[in-house]
Amino acid sequence: MAALSLAVGLRLAAALRGAHGLCGRAVRAAGLLGRGFGSAYAAVSTESLPPTFGFLLDIDGVLVRGHRVIPAALEAFHRLTNAQGQLRVPVVFVTNAGNILQHRKAQELSALLGCKVEPDQVILSHSPMKLFSQYHDKRMLVSGQGPVVENARALGFRNVVTMEEVRTAFPVLDMVDLERRPTATPLLRSDFPAIEGVLLLGEPVRWETSLQLIVDVLLSNGNPGTGLATAPYPHLPVLASNMDLLWMAEAKMPRFGHGTFLLCLEAIYRKMTGKELRYEGLMGKPSLLTYQYAEELIRQQAERRGWTAPIRKLYAVGDNPMSDVYGANLFHQYLQMAERSVRAEQQGAGGLQKQPPSATQSCTSILVCTGVYRPGEPGSGEAPFHGHRDFGCSPGLLQAAHVVNDVHEAMRLAFHEEGWGW
């Protein structure tokens, strides 16, 4: 199914135009720092030059831990802004979180970082669902928590139904919690419109309720109050976002993410039907579609700022090898393949120049030590693969181009690589 996500991305590409302690010592001992990183950085006057590079920044574990901002992030954004308080290069925040409205996340980041963050600089895990317009008029069951209906509507879905609405319409379906079971047998509903698909925006609060009702909807072909002799397959379309098995908050150990919920749902469906749960779209890192979407926002941001030079290089900074590093490397691989394809077309056209589909030429992965990743743990080749089922274990994609202490060092490294003063 990784091929499915890649295929979706290819089809839609045209539509997208401190702290040097233990972590620092371990990183240096492993020889993982970028070349020349320990040397002094030459101060180059670049304020008059349009940037040709930008940043894709993860949030949890890179900029914040829970509700606490990481000190290195404050220093990084102090240096990243000019005297007018504007960003010196384009930046998009790419998070696998999704249980918040886009403009609220932008406000939250603005307050934490002391830098104005616009809503269109924020990509939530489900943001690329805006592109799946063929489902926007269908009656979709939405799963998650927080403002799920508002988020679904902001994505373009005009006919959504919540878990609570299904549970209220069919109270005999949710039976795990004894205190929530109905005390009397209600009449069966026959006027509840059929559900036509499922939106999985993020981890819900009551997993047992959501797992039960989602499976009921899939097995009944959208009519959970009825029973079918044979479960339909292929089942109703399922769109999901945020495949992170784990994420980092204030706790010392990582916490369950939406990927854990998806793992449970997939296992239950396979056990009950003998078939694999299929996704029409998987969004959020490491999905290729998410990075194509981010690339387009970077381009638009540069255009609004009046930067005429094309953005050639992206630096993706994250704390999770399974999502941030894998996704950035997958996108880099895609860019390299696209560039080779363009060159081949140009040669086949007798030297006629064709405009490449994207100005971006590379995406460099930078892994920080302030979140999920901890140096000194078993190497990625020995550790169990925490990625999603539909993204195969490819050890090369799990290796970051650079490993640094924190986001401040990551940005300093990128500026040095580009010959810009930090």
**pLDDT tens digits, residue range 51-79?**
999 999 999 999 999 889 999 999 999 99
Burial class (CB in 10 A: 0-12, 13-18, 19+), 221: middle
pLDDT tops 70 at residue 6: no
Q: Does pTM surpass 0.85?
A: no
Q: What is the pLDDT of residue 33?
A: 41
Region 100-128 average pLDDT: 96
pLDDT tops 50 at residue 278: yes
Q: What is the pLDDT of residue 189?
A: 75
The percent of residues above 90 in pLDDT, for the chain, comes to 72
Q: What is the pLDDT of residue 47?
A: 61
Spatial neighbors of 387 by CB under 8 A, at least 6 apart, are: 243, 245, 286, 322, 323, 326, 393
Q: What is the pLDDT of residue 11?
A: 42
What is the residue-averaged pLDDT of the chain?
A: 87
